[in-house]
Structure 1
Amino acid sequence: MGERIKPLRVLTDAPPSWKTRWSRPLGRVLDHVVYNTAVAGRENIPARGPVVFAANHLSYLDGPVMVGASSRYMHVMVRHDMFKGFLGWVLHASGQIPVNRAGDRAALQHAKAVLGRGDCVGILPEGTRGTGDAASMNGGVAWLALNSGAAVVPVAILGTRHTGEHRDTIPAPRRRLHVVFGEPFTLTREPGVSGRVSMDRATETIRLRLAAHIAGAQTATGQDLPADDDLSSMHKGQQP
């Protein structure tokens, strides 16, 4: 008989706030004990009320590094197939939200419920690890912003992957990382246009704001994004 495959963990409701209480301390250990992380712009994070943190995506570390750098607890939307084994237990126990990138209305509703109670959601809207320049973006972050009224805080994460490193690479300890929180903004539906057009425009607005923030963070920190043009640096199954 073959090895029994344990099912992925799924959510039937929004994760409770208390589950995040130990994820941020662990993130801070990662940021300041395992790595050497510089954090800027923390004053831009609203002290209360719902917030969507929208960050670029370079490596597996981006979510945990963002959690540790923030002044607010957050529930991060994480690829659903990461919710298995011990890692899946940790993600579930710390209140993270599994999301199927092929389309997951339930995950968005769980995230909306988190925002509806005044808490925070972290999302990596590029959808997959890449060069982190926000050249493309999925619409989930715009849907959340439009349907919750939450403030959107752009987040630039730099240094979690360098040019030439495979996208599955975990950086060596004590590497210098940077997390830069940008100025918050809110979005509203445009009158006289369809919901689809309104969401497409909101998605592009977020993409442009995040891309500009990332570019500014590179200038301010002196840390460049990875320049990956060959397939050898891409994780299995990803197209250029």
Structure 2
Amino acid sequence: MRLRPNPAPADGSRPGEPFAWTRGVGKLLAHGAWNSRVLGAENVPATGPVLFAANHASIMDGPLLFGVTPRPAHFLVKKEMFEGAPAKRFVGWALLQAGQIPIDRSRGDRDALQSVLAVLADGGAAGVFPEGTRGRGDAASVRSGIAWIALQSGAPVVPVACLGAHLPGEPRRSVPPLRRKLTFCFGEPFTVLKEPGVPGRVALANAVEQVRVKLSGHVLDSLQRTGTRLPDDEAADELGLGEMASDDVPGGTR
């Protein structure tokens, strides 16, 4: 039985595995506090590396998605969630016990991205909200961080649509009413590959567009399938996954 708490990953190291109780809390939130259903769980590979790419419309997307993923996953979480007042530091401690990875949004936090790569290299599951901040949740904007991770790792990417927690007319940072029906749709996995001879910067741009198209299309299909409406508000990206240099892509040049 593991008793030693998970520390924050340092210098791109692999985060600790989520403690079983943290998954239990996530499932209790998803299926107890709220009425969540999961569609497409069979699309998630049972073994090997997998990278979840999810839309982001609600403050509860992260905790609830952690509770419903078919496999325990390590998500990038803004570092502000790990620091500040005592209550917030406790939340940060709990996130670390859940194996989550702090990311500094003020820069392209290479250490955080390397921690995700370490998880995938070990055959684990990791997740990113490519849109960054909470917005409409239609995945119309995708930053380069997840595309860089997908190119570097070769891991299959599973698009995820998080629906129902933020509806039209509701304040952006509000918590959805308890027992609201929420839906999490897992799409078919796809792989982002770099074609031989393509410059790194071009390969990264192509990968960003591929992730955007796949995730946005999956969200739109899931909306039609479930009859869910997205909120009308929009916001600029603030996660700070950063524009990667071309040499960060295998085969890229400065």
CA RMSD of aligned residues (A): 1.8
Residues of 1 paired with 2:19 and 2:230: CA distance? 29
Q: Deviations over 1:105-149 (max 9, x none)?
A: 000001100100000101101010000011111111111111111
Deviation at 1:10, TM superposition (A): 4.8
Secondary structure of 2:76's counterpart equals: strand
- Tell me the residue number matched to 2:14: 14
Q: Which moved more, 1:182-191 or 1:112-121?
A: 182-191
Secondary structure of 1:179's counterpart equals: strand
Deviation at 1:164, TM superposition (A): 1.6
Is contact 1:146–1:189 with CA below 8 Å preserved after alignment?
Answer: yes
Residues of 2 paired with 1:54 and 1:26: CA distance? 22
Is contact 1:79–1:100 with CA below 8 Å preserved after alignment?
Answer: yes
AA matched with 1:98: P
TM-score, normalised to structure 2, is 0.84
Secondary structure of 2:22's counterpart equals: helix
- Tell me the residue number matched to 1:82: 81
AA matched with 2:80: D
Residues of 1 paired with 2:227 and 2:128: CA distance? 25
Which runs of 5 or more residues in structure 2 are unaligned?
A: 1-6, 84-88, 239-254
AA matched with 1:110: S
Task: Please identify runs of 4+ aligned residues in structure 1 that moved more than 3 A.
Answer: none
Matched-pair identity in %: 48
Is contact 1:23–1:67 with CA below 8 Å preserved after alignment?
Answer: no
Write out aligned runs for 1:217-232 (5 A): 217-228=222-233
Residues of 2 paired with 1:209 and 1:24: CA distance? 28
- Tell me the residue number matched to 2:35: 36
Which runs of 5 or more residues in structure 1 are unaligned?
A: 1-8
- Tell me the residue number matched to 1:91: 95
Write out aligned runs for 1:59-138 (5 A): 59-84=58-83, 85-101=89-105, 102-138=107-143
TM-score, normalised to structure 1, is 0.89
- Tell me the residue number matched to 1:160: 165
Deviation at 1:66, TM superposition (A): 1.2
Q: Deviations over 1:29-85 (max 9, x none)?
A: 111100011110000000000000000001121111111111111001101111121
AA matched with 1:93: Q
Residues of 2 paired with 1:23 and 1:214: CA distance? 27
Aligned length: 224
Is contact 2:144–2:204 with CA below 8 Å preserved after alignment?
Answer: yes
AA matched with 1:48: T
Residues of 1 paired with 2:22 and 2:148: CA distance? 26
Residues of 2 paired with 1:149 and 1:124: CA distance? 18
